[in-house]
Amino acid sequence: MHLPAVLHLLLCVTLSEAADWCYTGCDHTPTHWSDIPGTTCGGQRQSPVDIVSARVETSDKLHNFTFSNFSSGTVLKTLLNNGHTVKCLLQQEQVEVWGGGLNGSYSSPQFHLHWGDSQLHPGSEHTLDGHRFPMEMHIVSLKKGVMAEQAVKDPEGIAVLGFFINVGNKALQVEREAPAEGELQLN
């Protein structure tokens, strides 16, 4: 499995605004995500993915990603918390990523975090050798010059970069201080 294929596989649930999905124990488990209105799940690029490290192939064509403006204190616009995902909306056309095997520059309108708090949402969306991490971040990026409606239909229109995150005690303290659900506007 090549890294670009994995990145494109992360797209499915990212595009859904539905809050009634889960990994186990509800009507909308991964095999039924294609039934959720507004999703693009169910095709060849289905989430979630178990990355089997023994099958991963390296490529000398893949280089480092370049992230532009991700550390700016002024690009974060809105935080949305639905209880199992926090979506961070970014200022339009302010944050970009390129390189790493991407074909061009991509603008990042949002990133979001998945974490575990129950059996229905046990942590990361994807797994590595069957291991689910406590948290996963997805940076969702649209190819520059391509509208969102076109990007969904273009195999290179959307790039979703996924990062597994281990959680320590200090991060748990921050989580307790944050609101459980809702929206937070940032100026």
CB 122 within 8 A of CB 29: no
How far is the C-alpha of 13 from the C-alpha of 23, rounded, in Å?
A: 11
Contact 19, 82 (CB under 8 A): yes
Residue 131 known to be catalytic: no
Dump the DSSP string for 69-81: STT-TT-EEEEEE
**Rounded Cα distance, 171 and 173, in Å:** 5
Amino acid at residue number 40: T
* DSSP code at position 21: -
Catalytic residue among 2, 28, 63, 84: 84
DSSP state for residue 32 in the 8-state scheme: G
Active site residues: 84
